[in-house]
Structure 1
Amino acid sequence: MILPIVAYGAPVLRKVAQDITADYPDLQKLIADMWETMYASNGVGLAAPQINRDIRLFVVDSAQIFENQEDDEKGQYADEPGIKKVFINAHITALEGKEWPYNEGCLSIPKIREDVMRPEKVTLTYLDEQLKPHTETFTGITARVIQHEYDHIEGKLFIDYLKPLRKKLLQGKLNDISKGKVRVDYKMTFSK
């Protein structure tokens, strides 16, 4: 089932999400719905706060980025061909490497894209969809998507990385998003 995505301004996007336990109700259905919602919205990642759940759960499919690359872009990133994974109760244990810019967007902040600096490597502990524990290091584009989605479960948004002046210049657009004055081709809910 395609779920509505929560727009900028909703309080859930600013909450630190809670770990969940194995008895979380309908977890497998929720994960399936998140994949369906993400693909229907043309996203490469989706975090539970974006569908109005304050839990530490996000899904990432960075493989789509590589599948849609132009031929001259192929081989630029060490993490090619990307991943498709579920992250439950994720906690970052290390951020390493040089910070590099990449133009990011967010399904909860439609029609705004900005360059964001992030480290090239992220190591985190997490549970997969079978609730098996992992500690894994990711690099490149995949590391960036994971950091972006991880920020959602920490109550952060990519615009928080922008310089104050740039954020101030975007404030009108952000206000319009929070009031529902933006058209998107996917289901959204607005806090108004």
Structure 2
Amino acid sequence: MTIRPILIHPDPRLKTVASPVGDITDELRQLGRDMLETMYDAPGIGLAAPQIGVLSRVLVMDCIKEEGAAPRPMILFNPEITWSSEDVSTYEEGCLSIPDQYAEVDRPAEVEVRWIDENGAPREEHFKGLWATCVQHEIDHLNGKLFIDYLKPMRRQMITRKMQKLKRERTRP
């Protein structure tokens, strides 16, 4: 498995709508495994393919955070939300493409998601709590949307400027 570099906002690939994947190939399964490895290494609880520069509808997540609990790595191909609750929950969200920046975002408290698993089988699951927030955040990435897009313009611009500065600092010799 390969840990892939994570793109930092602003990057035009993070604002691009990702394309659906076709048949689940060994190459796509490897992409999913690499994404999980990258996500765990970061560390994070979710990662979408556009964050590593791959403009395909693939996301990974594992929201198990309890000490000693078994991990639950998930790879979702072509995920789509088929239902969302009217109830809303607010979580302080962060993003591996926007390091060290956090903000409260309101999202549906529960969602049902349909996707294709790594064996090419259709799957569907009801998510709530952190899992629901995470899957919505990652599907937003597949649609070219970042969590800061939910913020007021002034706050969004401030975070974007911080990321531009961070990118400049990382490219200096």
User: Shift in Å at residue 53 of structure 1?
Assistant: 0.4
Provide the identity percentage. Answer: 39
Q: Which amino acid aligns with 1:66?
A: E
Q: Structure 2: which 5+ residue stretches go unaligned? A: none
Question: Contact 2:9–2:160 (CA<8 Å) still a contact in 1?
Answer: no
Are 2:54 and 1:66 aligned? no
Deviation at 1:82, TM superposition (A): 8.2
Distance 2:149 2:25 in 1: 31
Give 1:181 deviation, angstroms: 2.7
Q: Report what 1:11 is aligned to.
A: 12
2:42 and 2:105 map into 1 onto residues whose CA distance is 22
1:148 is aligned, of 117, 137, 141, to: 137
Unpaired runs of at least 5, structure 1: 69-79, 183-189
For the Cα contact (< 8 Å) 1:83–1:142, is it kept in 2?
no
CA distance in 2, matches of 1:158, 1:42: 18
| Counterpart position of 1:21 | 22
User: 1: distance between equivalents of 2:101 and 2:62?
Assistant: 21
Mapping of 1:73-92 within 5 angstroms?
83-92=72-81
Matched residue, 1:165? 154
Higher relative contact order (CA 8 A, sep 6+): 1
**How big is the shift at 1:49?**
0.3
Q: CA separation of 1:125/1:170 partners in 2, compared to 1, >3 Å: closer, same or farther?
A: same
Q: Are 1:48 and 2:49 an aligned pair?
A: yes
Amino acid at match of 1:51: I
TM-score normalized by structure 2? 0.89
SS at match of 2:87: strand
Residues paired across the two proteins, number: 170
Amino acid at match of 2:38: T
Q: What root-mean-square deviation, in Å, do the aligned CA atoms of Structure 1 and Structure 2 show? A: 2.2
Matched residue type, 1:98: D
TM-score if structure 1 supplies the norm length? 0.80
Q: Secondary structure at the match of 1:42?
A: coil
| SS of 1:53 mapped into structure 2 | coil
What secondary structure, in the 3-state scheme, does the structure 2 residue paired with 1:17 have?
Answer: coil
Is the CA contact 1:82–1:142 (under 8 Å) kept in the aligned structure 2?
no
Rounded Cα–Cα distance in structure 2 between residues aligned with 1:22 and 1:122: 25
Output one character per residue of 1:80-99: Cα deviation in whole Å (capped at 9) or x when no partner. Answer: 98843111011111221322
